[in-house]
Amino acid sequence: MKSSQKVRTFSRGIWLLAIFSTVAFAGEDNSLSATELIEKATLQEHVLIGNVAAPDDPGAPAERRFLNYLSAGSEIGRINFGADLTTMMTEFQNTGVDRLVSLEKKHVSYVGDDLRADLGDSTQLLGRGIALDLYRDDVFGIYNTLEGLSARYDASFAKISGFAGRVNALVAPVALNPIEYPLTDRQMMLAGGVAELNAFEGSRLGLHAFTAQQMTTDNTESWAWNTVGAVVAQDNVLEGIDVYLEPNIVLRDHSLFGKNSALSPSFGTFVSIAMSPDQWKIKLEAKDYRNYDFGFRRPPTLEDELIASLNNEDVSLARFQAERRVGPLALTASVAAGYDRVIRTQIYHGIIGSRFHWGRDELELKAGYRLMPGDNDITHAAVKFKVGTFAGQSLEMNLRRQLEAHRISTTPFNNDRNLVEATYNFSERWSLGLGFENVPTNPASLGADFFNANIAYKAGAKSARAFLGSTSGGARCSGGVCRVVPPFSGALLEGYYSF
């Protein structure tokens, strides 16, 4: 087939799938009477259609993409079951996906009063995610699950759970900036459990343990992690004071062509003390992660949500936060200090801010400075406000400035980012947004100015968004973790619906 014919065929496929999705979107209310045997049925779909320019080659033709995530489930008594399918069609990009439709997830579950059992895919979380967290984050195309068996008994005084299977990551994530597929040429097997006792009101005393075995598909190399951890938590240990402590230790092994070697152990500890005296909120947190190279975790970062997170493999950090309320005004401050053992430098980060809420109007101010001597420093500031205008309408503004100074190389450089976003909410359903970014330190090939516009619609479980323009990339945050994403230029149409 000639190249032009391939493009036409691809385009027809894009629009046929788009039309199909639109028809499904519009006709959702007529789909619930298929059978009286099914007590409850659910259908969720996420569609992303884009025309995207290559961030590293502005002169290249734009790439057309169609991404679709379809999740269907139903319940019969205490049994529920479901499956998730993805579709990925890209015009030029070599995605590594060799199927038009991928069966991503499937499960059959029994849900009782105290007992739940899952066959197939399930999420897993131990403690605060320091040791293990198989979770979902649509922003970065993350949906890691355990494909196998899991069961949990959850009574008022105790909880016991166990799991065994393999880690199942998304093959075709529906996201503009998905993370790299974490299981290329390898697989990860897990087995473990949790025992937790709630002896007193507001108390938790738990022990978790699991073993993880990762091996390449040609069986030439493997890794093993054997983890044991504990959770000790007590609310109101003293009047208004809550305490949480979680230590973890990991014994690691590596094998290459049959030759085994023991690696140095990993340690991960997190502690939190929170108190709420009159008109105050005070929290002291600390993390200490050492040689923690296990990839399927999401530990507390103790970082601000607007800047790229520090590494979570080999770092120690303590943070003190305080908030004081005075009527409609809240004043906040935090200070953090620690040591990054990857970069081998200290960490100092201070932030001050305030929030004001009065009727329909809101204002939030925040400014901070992070210093890592000999490596980099970041000055950041943000202003957000929302003002009520006419009945049921409002204007929202978001202004942000971030200046990074990097000194790690023999040729230091700065990264200066400035953002202005304005959104007008015409009603609870419709909104229109405009955005402008200025990055004067960008190379000429990327440009310094980025403009975009979007329109959004939301009604119950249905939402849609159209976007046109460009963004500068940089740090993007979701789920408490910030990652650096590339610039974007193009148009996209995104929709969600469920019933």
Q: What is the pLDDT of residues 63-73, one digit of tens each?
A: 888 899 999 99
HSE-up of residue 333 (Cα within 13 Å, Cβ side): 4
Residue 16 has pLDDT above 80, yes or no: no
Do 19 and 96 lie in one domain? The reply is yes
Do 33 and 129 lie in one domain? The reply is no
Q: What is the DSSP string of 158-199?
A: EEEEEEEEEEE--SS---SSPPPPTTTTEEEEEEEEEEEE--
Per-residue pLDDT band for 96 (boundaries 50, 70, 90) equals low
Per-residue pLDDT band for 156 (boundaries 50, 70, 90) equals confident
Do 28 and 124 lie in one domain? The reply is no
Only one residue has tokens 């023999």, namely 410
Per-residue pLDDT band for 38 (boundaries 50, 70, 90) equals low
Q: What is the DSSP string of 225-238?
A: EEEEEEEEEEEEEE
Do 172 and 218 lie in one domain? The reply is yes
For residue 67, tell me if it sits in a domain: yes
Per-residue pLDDT band for 3 (boundaries 50, 70, 90) equals very low
Per-residue pLDDT band for 59 (boundaries 50, 70, 90) equals low
Per-residue pLDDT band for 33 (boundaries 50, 70, 90) equals very low
Do 16 and 122 lie in one domain? The reply is no
Supply the pLDDT for residue 473.
85
Query: What number is the average pLDDT over the span 324-331?
Result: 95
For residue 62, tell me if it sits in a domain: yes
Do 166 and 145 lie in one domain? The reply is yes
Which of the two residues, 400 and 499, has the higher pLDDT score? 400
CB atoms within 10 A of CB 203: 14
Query: What number is the average pLDDT over the span 219-237?
Result: 96
- Domain with 369, as residue range(s), is 301-499
Q: Among 116, 95, 117, 120, which residue's Cα sits nearest to residue 107?
A: 120
Query: What number is the average pLDDT over the span 457-464?
Result: 93
Whole-model pTM: value is 0.87
18 contacts: CB under 8 Å, gap ≥ 6: 47, 49, 66, 493
Residue 214 and residue 188 in contact, taking contact as beta carbons nearer than 8 Å: yes
Supply the pLDDT for residue 10.
41
End-to-end Cα separation, the chain, in angstroms: 41
Supply the pLDDT for residue 175.
87
Q: Among 337, 333, 327, 378, which residue's Cα sits nearest to residue 352?
A: 333
Supply the pLDDT for residue 486.
84
Torsion (CA) 95, 96, 101, 104 in degrees, nearest 10: -100
Do 148 and 180 lie in one domain? The reply is yes
Distance CA 493, CA 470 (A): 14
Residue 263 has pLDDT above 60, yes or no: yes
Do 53 and 141 lie in one domain? The reply is no
Query: What number is the average pLDDT over the span 358-362?
Result: 93
Highest mean pLDDT of the ranges 12-16, 17-21, 142-146: 142-146
CA distances from 169 to 17, 122, 166, 447 (A): 24, 12, 10, 35
Residue 338 has pLDDT above 70, yes or no: yes
Only one residue has tokens 């691809």, namely 10
Query: What number is the average pLDDT over the span 18-25?
Result: 42
Query: What number is the average pLDDT over the span 96-103?
Result: 72
Summarised one tens digit per residue, pLDDT across range 123-142 is 999 999 999 999 999 888 99
For residue 15, tell me if it sits in a domain: yes
3 state SS of 412: coil
Q: Cα Rg for the chain, rounded, in angstroms?
A: 25
For residue 294, tell me if it sits in a domain: no
15 contacts: CB under 8 Å, gap ≥ 6: none
Mean pLDDT of all residues belonging to the chain: 88
Q: In this structure, what CATH number is given to the domain that contains residue 460?
A: 2.40.160
For residue 283, tell me if it sits in a domain: no
Query: What number is the average pLDDT over the span 164-178?
Result: 91
Per-residue pLDDT band for 280 (boundaries 50, 70, 90) equals very high
Of 69, 100, 131, the residue that ends a domain is 100
Q: Which two three-digit tokens encode residue 24?
A: 């499904």
Of 207, 236, 262, the residue that ends a domain is 262
Residue 484 has pLDDT above 70, yes or no: yes
Residue 35 has pLDDT above 60, yes or no: no
Of 237, 262, 287, the residue that ends a domain is 262
Do 219 and 333 lie in one domain? The reply is no
Do 339 and 252 lie in one domain? The reply is no
Supply the pLDDT for residue 15.
39
Residue 9 has pLDDT above 50, yes or no: no
Do 39 and 154 lie in one domain? The reply is no
Per-residue pLDDT band for 122 (boundaries 50, 70, 90) equals very high
Distance CA 100, CA 14 (A): 12
Which of the two residues, 295 and 476, has the higher pLDDT score? 295
CA distances from 17 to 10, 127, 199 (A): 11, 41, 55
For residue 287, tell me if it sits in a domain: no
Does an H or E element contain 94, and which?
none
Per-residue pLDDT band for 40 (boundaries 50, 70, 90) equals confident
Per-residue pLDDT band for 410 (boundaries 50, 70, 90) equals low
Supply the pLDDT for residue 57.
66
Do 318 and 387 lie in one domain? The reply is yes
How many structural domains compose the chain? 3
Residue 356 has pLDDT above 80, yes or no: yes
Per-residue pLDDT band for 361 (boundaries 50, 70, 90) equals very high
For residue 107, tell me if it sits in a domain: no
Query: What number is the average pLDDT over the span 2-28?
Result: 42
Query: What number is the average pLDDT over the span 83-106?
Result: 79
For residue 291, tell me if it sits in a domain: no
Which of the two residues, 213 and 446, has the higher pLDDT score? 213
Per-residue pLDDT band for 158 (boundaries 50, 70, 90) equals very high
